[in-house]
Amino acid sequence: MKCIYCNSEDELTSSDIITYAITGAKLTKSFVCKTHNAFTNDNYEKKFVADLDFFRNQLGLTTRDGKTIQYRADISVDGTEIHNVKLSNRESLYAPKDVVAGTDNDGNKILMAPMEKLKKISKGKATSVNMSDVVVHKTVGSNDFIGFHAIHSMAKMAYEWYCYINSIEEYKEEYQEIVDYILGKTEQEVVDIIIDNYYYWAIDQLSEIGTNSFFQYDDLDGYRYVVIDFWKTIAYRIRICKSPNDCLKKVRALPVTLYLYHIDGSKTQQVFGVVLLEKNKQAYFKTICPQNMTADIWGIFTSRIGKIMSTMVLSIHILKREVKNLSDKLDKYNAGKIDVTALLGFEENNIVTTIDILSQLYLNKDKYDMTKTFNQNLPIVLSLHSDTIGRTQEDKKKFIQLLVDKDKDNELSEYIWNGINFFDEIYKNEMNLPK
Options 4-12, 142-150, 179-187, 416-424: segment touching Zn ion (CB under 5 A):
4-12
One of 17, 23, 24, 36 touching Zn ion (CB under 5 A):
36
Q: Which is nearer to Zn ion, 29 or 36 (CB)?
A: 36
Closest contact distance (angstroms) between CB of 5 and Zn ion is 4
Q: Which is nearer to Zn ion, 170 or 196 (CB)?
A: 170
Query: Reduced to 3 states, what is the DSSP secondary structure of residue 86?
Result: strand
Number of Cβ within 10 Å of residue 71's Cβ equals 20
Do 236 and 227 contact (CB within 8 A), yes or no? yes
The bridge status of strand 388-390 relative to strand 12-16 is unpaired
Contact between 31 and Zn ion per CB under 5 A? no
Q: Which is nearer to Zn ion, 112 or 158 (CB)?
A: 158
Number of residues that bind Zn ion (CB under 5 A): 6
C-alpha to C-alpha distance for 267 and 270, rounded to whole angstroms: 10
Phi, psi of 346 (to 5 degrees): 55, 45
Options 32-40, 59-67, 292-300, 379-387: segment touching Zn ion (CB under 5 A):
32-40
Angle between helices 349-363 and 374-382 (to 10 degrees): 80
100-103 sheet: strands from edge to edge: 109-112, 100-103, 80-87, 71-77, 135-137
Residue 410: Cβ-neighbour burial (10 angstroms; 0-12, 13-18, 19+) = exposed
Contact between 73 and Zn ion per CB under 5 A? no
Options 3-11, 104-112, 197-205, 426-434: segment touching Zn ion (CB under 5 A):
3-11
Do 274 and 284 contact (CB within 8 A), yes or no? yes
Q: Which is nearer to Zn ion, 35 or 360 (CB)?
A: 35
Closest contact distance (angstroms) between CB of 401 and Zn ion is 59
Helical H runs in 147-219? 148-165, 176-182, 197-206
Q: Which is nearer to Zn ion, 5 or 54 (CB)?
A: 5
Instruction: Give me the DSSP letters along 319-387.
Output: HHHHHHHHHHHHHHHHTTSS-HHHHTTTT-HHHHHHHHHHHHHHHTGGG--TTS-HHHHHHHHH--SSS
Q: Which is nearer to Zn ion, 51 or 169 (CB)?
A: 169
One of 3, 113, 203, 228 touching Zn ion (CB under 5 A):
3
Do 420 and 354 contact (CB within 8 A), yes or no? no
Q: Which is nearer to Zn ion, 4 or 61 (CB)?
A: 4
Contact between 5 and Zn ion per CB under 5 A? yes
Closest contact distance (angstroms) between CB of 33 and Zn ion is 3
Closest contact distance (angstroms) between CB of 183 and Zn ion is 9
Q: Which is nearer to Zn ion, 5 or 423 (CB)?
A: 5
Contact between 6 and Zn ion per CB under 5 A? yes
Closest contact distance (angstroms) between CB of 3 and Zn ion is 3
Closest contact distance (angstroms) between CB of 27 and Zn ion is 19
One of 22, 27, 33, 260 touching Zn ion (CB under 5 A):
33
Q: Which residues of 305-325 are buried (b: 16+ CB within 10 A; e: fewer)?
A: beebbbbbbbbbbbbbbbbee
Angle between helices 393-408 and 412-432 (to 10 degrees): 120
Options 30-38, 95-103, 188-196, 383-391: segment touching Zn ion (CB under 5 A):
30-38
Contact between 126 and Zn ion per CB under 5 A? no
Angle at 47 (CA atoms; ends 44, 48), nearest 5 degrees: 75
Q: Which is nearer to Zn ion, 174 or 405 (CB)?
A: 174
Binding track over 142-181 against Zn ion, x by CB under 5 A:
----------------------------------------
Q: Which is nearer to Zn ion, 36 or 237 (CB)?
A: 36
Beta bridge partners of 77: 80
Closest contact distance (angstroms) between CB of 175 and Zn ion is 13
Binding track over 234-253 against Zn ion, x by CB under 5 A:
--------------------
C-alpha to C-alpha distance for 244 and 223, rounded to whole angstroms: 8
Binding site for Zn ion (CB under 5 A): 3, 5-6, 8, 33, 36
